[in-house]
Amino acid sequence: MGILSVIRQLASRPAPLLGLIIVSAFYGWSIVEGLLQLVGSLTHNTALGWVLLQSNPFTPSTSNSLLPPSFSHLMGTDDLGRDIWTRVLYAAPTDALVSGVVVGGGILVGSLIGIPAGYIGGAVEEVNMRFTDLFLAFPALILAVAIEATFGRQLIYAILALIIVWWPSYARLFRAEALRIKNLRFIDAALLSGLPDRSIMAKHMIPSSLNTMVSYATIDLGNSILVYSILCFLGLGIPAPAPEWGSMTSLGLYYFPQWWWYSLMPGFVITVVVIGAALLGDGLRDVLSGGA
């Protein structure tokens, strides 16, 4: 069914609608802001990064330090007097990027490992799935610590660590899908048409699998943001002064509970986005499976 029809059905019930709004707002904003930041850093005009924001997220203003939420500072200010809402908005594209790359990377690697395992079976399946089991056992955080300790604290290494622990679940999902699809009659028809295995896998298994996985992947976007935020919270994200939701939440703890907004506001935003993704993913599952 078409995208418009899916959106219409999602919008017809309150929970998926809310999820749709939250996720669209989050990624929509992140794309715009992210492009501005990217162009800004390429053209050495970093001010582009806050052209849409009420103030420069980096400029300290000690006189405004630790102000509670108000109309001029929706989420209050931090210890250096910087508007928290501005910093939250500025940091959003990072999380959006991480979620997209990690889930996308997980799907990519997972499909390359899982689909041949399911379709070809035999030794390929054994090797691939045992390899998957190996990686399934890696704890994300320890791995992230290890990688960043070795290579340094950069966004790219955090993303890498996350992709490494993310792809095994997708490998299993893709394998299960391949197993289900390979017994369907249209695969026999493809064989009779002389299609080689790689064409069959690419042409027939990937679209079907992706369709099955859309709702899981959507919820996963939220999960990846959560895990990444935890990494940042533990100090494994990009170093200060760059704003990051997880780091902000962590730093804010020093000022809890008297200046509660510093920690809770970024944490609240993380929660909202993760729940939004879950609601949307859940709604998608209902819509795509044709349930009422």
Partner 1 sequence: MEVLHVEGLSVDYRTGGGTLHALKGVSLSIHEGEIVGVVGESGSGKSTLALAVSRLLRTPPAVQREGSITFRGTEISQMRPSEIDEVRGTGIFMVFQDPFLSLNPLMRVKDQIAEVIAVRMKRSSAPFDRSSAEAEAVAHLKTVRIGDAEDIAERYPHQISGGQIQRVMLAMALAARPQLLVADEPTTALDVTTQAQILAVFKEIVEKTKMGVLYVTHDLAVAGVICDSMAVLYGGMVQEAGPTEKILFEPKHPYTVGLMDSIPSKTKKEGPLTAIRGAFNPQGLEGICSFAPRCPLAHEECRRGVPAQNPVDGRTVRCVNYGENYEP
Partner 2 sequence: MVRITSRRQETRLEVQELTKRFSVGRRGLWDRVTRKRQKYVRAVGGATFVVGAGETLVILGESGSGKTTLGRLIVGLEKPDSGKIALSGDAVLPVREHRTQRGRLQMVFQDPGSSLDPFMKVMDVIAEPLTRSGISGSARTEKVDQAVDSVGLDRSVLDRRASELSGGQKQRVSVARAIVSSPEVIVLDEPTSSIDVSIQAQVLNMLVRLQQKNHYAYVLITHDPNVASFMADSVAVMYLGKIVEQGPAARVMLQPKHPYTQALLSSTPRLHERSIPEVIKGEPPSLINLPPGCPYAPRCPYAIKVCGEREPEDYEVEGAVVSCYMYDEDVKRQFGAAP
Binding footprint of partner 2 on the chain (CB under 8 A): 184-186, 188-196, 199, 203-204, 207-208, 211
- 9 interacts with, out of partner 1, partner 2, none, CB within 5 to 8 A per kind: partner 1
When the beta carbons of 231 and 287 are compared against partner 1, the nearer one is 287
Nearer to partner 2, 115 or 248 (CB): 115
Written as six digits, the tokens of 215 are 């709702």
Rounded Cα–Cα distance for residues 63 and 241 (Å): 19
Which single residue is written with the structure tokens 């679209």?
A: 207
Distance of CA 155 to the CA centre of its chain: 14
Binding partner of 12, given partner 2, partner 1, none, CB within 5-8 angstroms per partner class: partner 1
CB of 210 to partner 1, least distance (A): 23
Question: Of these partners, partner 1, partner 2, none, which one is at the site of residue 221 (CB under 5 to 8 Å by kind)?
Answer: none
Can you read off the two tokens belonging to residue 193?
A: 């048409």
Beta carbon of residue 292, minimum distance to partner 1 (angstroms, whole number): 5
CA 275 to chain centroid: 12
Could you tell me the smallest distance in angstroms from the CB atom of residue 8 to partner 1? 9
In whole angstroms, the minimum distance from the beta carbon of 221 to partner 2 comes to 22
199's contact among partner 1, partner 2, none, with CB below 5 to 8 A by partner kind, is: partner 2
End-to-end CA distance of the chain: 15
The nearer residue to partner 2, 163 or 181, going by C-beta atoms, is 181
190 binds, among partner 1, partner 2, none (CB under 5 to 8 A by kind): partner 2
Cα dihedral across residues 166, 224, 220, 23: positive or negative: negative
**CA–CA separation, 205 vs 112, rounded Å?**
11
| Chosen from partner 2, partner 1, none, partner binding at 28 (C-beta under 5 to 8 Å by type) | none
CB–CB of 245/266 below 8 Å? yes
Q: Which residues make up the interface to partner 1 (CB under 8 A)?
A: 9, 12, 287, 292
Nearer Cβ to partner 1 (9/56): 9
C-alpha torsion sign, points 121, 126, 131, 133: positive
CB nearer to partner 2: pick between 126 and 188: 188
Instruction: Identify the residue whose tokens are 């715009």.
Output: 32
CA 287 – CA 143 distance, rounded (Å): 37
Q: Which does 185 bind (CB under 5 to 8 A by kind): partner 1, partner 2, none?
A: partner 2
Q: Tell me the two tokens of residue 108.
A: 């990519």
Pull the structure tokens for residue 252.
Answer: 């804010």
Work out how close the CB of 7 gets to partner 1 at its nearest, in angstroms, rounded to a whole number: 12
Is there a contact between 9 and 290 (Cβ–Cβ < 8 Å)? no
The answer to whether the beta carbons of residues 52 and 32 sit under 8 Å apart is: yes
- Nearer to partner 1 (CB atom), residue 227 or residue 287: 287
With a CB cutoff of 8 Å and minimum separation 6, the contacts of 103 are 166, 217, 220, 221, 224
Q: Which is nearer to partner 1, 109 or 284 (CB)?
A: 284
User: Least Å distance between CB 287 and partner 1?
Assistant: 8
